[in-house]
A and B are shown apart, each in its own frame.
Chain A
Amino acid sequence: DGGITQSPKYLFRKEGQNVTLSCEQNLNHDAMYWYRQDPGQGLRLIYYSQIVNDFQKGDIAEGYSVSREKKESFPLTVTSAQKNPTAFYLCASTRRDGLEETQYFGPGTRLLVL
């Protein structure tokens, strides 16, 4: 996991409720990412941020929101507009070494709907 922490490990959401997943990194990485993982679907990009106070939509951003107020933090909010939120959510950050980038993942948060 290398310095990327996600909390909580499990999260339960009630119908119509917004929930926020935490992602923190102490690696001094500039870029951070949120992925959703469903069985047999691989990893799909939700949002990403290359720099503080800036972020871009990924392939499945609808029903999600993010903020990047600090370099080390990139929280993800799953809103009530996300109708099928049950999934494993993975946060990642990227180390840049010149033109080369390497992406590392956190341990994940499993979100379940009650």
Chain B
Amino acid sequence: EVQLVESGGGLVQSGGSLRLSCAASGFTFGNYGMNWVRRAPGKGLEWVSGITTAGLNRDYADSVQGRFTISRDNSNNTLYLQMNSLRAEDTAIYYCAKANDASGKNFFDYWGQGTLVTVSS
């Protein structure tokens, strides 16, 4: 059974940093791209970042470019999101999401339950 378990969320002041983790199990982690998607209170889903299987290609939403860094540790089946210079508008539930294949065009077939990040101003 595929499982994705996020951790690392919490309350942080504006300008601060957090590192989110996503522990994966039930599939061969290194064979799939991974992503972070967030949902702010009262808003819809927003894709944040994606990383390819070996971590060679990383993409970001314009809203987080230069502040967030996605990475992965295939030996420990874990995805990360380092978030710096946090702003109030980064307040959201952050989900990690597995890509459904290793291609460059893929969809998100499994999601974690999410971790809440609250940025106070």
A binds B: no
